[in-house]
């Protein structure tokens, strides 16, 4: 990546400057930082743990005096702590799944685009087939296979289907780079394919990758919540935002706060990532340069 920095001086600083000028993206970044800090330290401030059953306060409404700032569910578990630990799990799954899909997608797309020819069409044909499959059903099949609630399986399943668009984007970029002079020069000076891919092709596609990765994170968070909402994601006593929303939806008549808190946090989280992603796109989009 250092090469890319020295080859294109000003690109990164210009992008950074554009990002600094984007109030919406900065606001989103501040909001996300706040949520991350709250998820990291918030549960420590509460006297309760996420699976502690407080029999004195069953389905209690939010109240400062009881220490249950956001109330409790029907088992007397503290909603404040559960929501924040739900954010932890949603963020962890969202980030890991995005990382998995970025790594697979970049490697796949860059290889296909750089090598070109028959290898390219074969690799992209595989992507087309995968893309035609309804990905949700692959994930449901995989969760059936690995057993529900195994977070590792969940990461793998979500990441395994998320890399397809990334591969397409990177492949397009790599295809365009293939015959650029500096690539030819690297090849002429004896660089192997793996070396050229790692040192010259991938650093040059990193901009779109960052943008798309930032937009992948909220998709992955949403997808995990969706699975947990259906009961196919994380299992009790662990909570993710999706499973909290499902529990809350069942009790919304008696205890609307059980739905409001996780749903509100999820919305803010998704909105924050989407705005940040849009800001990054505006800052880094090659068409803007």
Contacting residues toward another protein, per CB under 8 A: 129, 132-134, 136-138, 140-145, 148, 222, 225-226, 229-232, 242, 245-246, 248-249, 252-253, 256, 259, 263, 266-267, 270-271, 274
Q: How many CA atoms lie less than 13 Å away from 52 in the CB half-sphere?
A: 15
Give the tokens for residue 38.
Answer: 């709250």
Least distance to another protein, CB of residue 15, Å: 24
Least distance to another protein, CB of residue 204, Å: 30
Question: Which residues, 6+ apart, have CB-to-CB distance to 184 below 8 Å?
Answer: none
Least distance to another protein, CB of residue 231, Å: 6
Closer to another protein by Cβ: residue 48 or 229:
229
Closer to another protein by Cβ: residue 117 or 147:
147
Rounded to 5 degrees, what are φ and ψ at 72?
A: -135, 165
Contact assessment for residue 106 and residue 170, using Cβ atoms and an 8 Å cutoff: yes
Closer to another protein by Cβ: residue 42 or 248:
248
Contact assessment for residue 22 and residue 279, using Cβ atoms and an 8 Å cutoff: yes
Task: Note the helical H segments in 72-180.
Answer: 79-115, 117-132, 135-146, 151-162, 164-177
Least distance to another protein, CB of residue 19, Å: 21
User: CB count, 10 Å around CB of 41?
Assistant: 10
Closer to another protein by Cβ: residue 148 or 199:
148
Closer to another protein by Cβ: residue 106 or 139:
139
Closer to another protein by Cβ: residue 204 or 219:
219
Q: What is the distance of C-alpha 3 from the center of its chain?
A: 27
Least distance to another protein, CB of residue 88, Å: 19
Q: What is the distance of C-alpha 45 from the center of its chain?
A: 27
Least distance to another protein, CB of residue 234, Å: 14
Determine the length of the chain.
289
Least distance to another protein, CB of residue 197, Å: 28
Select from 171, 164, 173, 150 the least CA-distant residue to 216. 164
Contact assessment for residue 152 and residue 212, using Cβ atoms and an 8 Å cutoff: no
Closer to another protein by Cβ: residue 26 or 136:
136
């Amino acid at each position: 990546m250092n090469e890319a920095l020295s080859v294109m001086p000003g690109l990164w600083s210009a992008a950074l400057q554009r990002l600094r000028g984007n109030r919406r993206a900065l606001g989103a970044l501040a909001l996300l930082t706040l949520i991350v800090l709250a998820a990291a330290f918030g549960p420590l401030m509460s006297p309760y743990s996420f699976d502690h059953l407080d029999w004195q306060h069953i389905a209690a409404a939010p109240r400062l005096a009881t220490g249950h700032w956001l109330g409790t569910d029907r088992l007397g578990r503290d909603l404040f702590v559960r929501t924040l630990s739900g954010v932890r799990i949603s963020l962890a799954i969202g980030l890991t799944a995005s990382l998995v899909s970025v790594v697979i997608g970049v490697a796949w797309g860059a290889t296909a685009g750089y090598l070109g020819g028959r290898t390219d069409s074969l690799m992209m044909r595989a992507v087309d087939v995968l893309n035609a499959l309804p990905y949700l059903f692959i994930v449901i099949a995989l969760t059936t296979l690995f057993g529900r609630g195994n977070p590792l399986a969940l990461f793998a399943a979500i990441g395994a289907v998320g890399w397809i668009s990334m591969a397409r984007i990177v492949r397009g970029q790599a295809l365009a780079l293939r015959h650029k002079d500096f690539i030819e020069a690297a090849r002429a000076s004896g660089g192997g394919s793996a070396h050229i891919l790692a040192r010259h092709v991938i650093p040059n596609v990193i901009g779109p990758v960052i943008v798309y990765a930032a937009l992948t994170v909220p998709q992955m968070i949403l997808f995990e919540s969706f699975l947990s909402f259906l009961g196919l994601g994380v299992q009790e006593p662990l909570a993710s935002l999706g499973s909290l929303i499902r529990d809350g939806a069942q009790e919304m008549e008696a205890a609307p706060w059980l739905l409001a808190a996780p749903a509100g946090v999820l919305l803010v989280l998704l909105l924050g990532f989407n705005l940040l992603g849009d800001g990054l796109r505006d800052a880094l989009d090659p068409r803007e340069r």
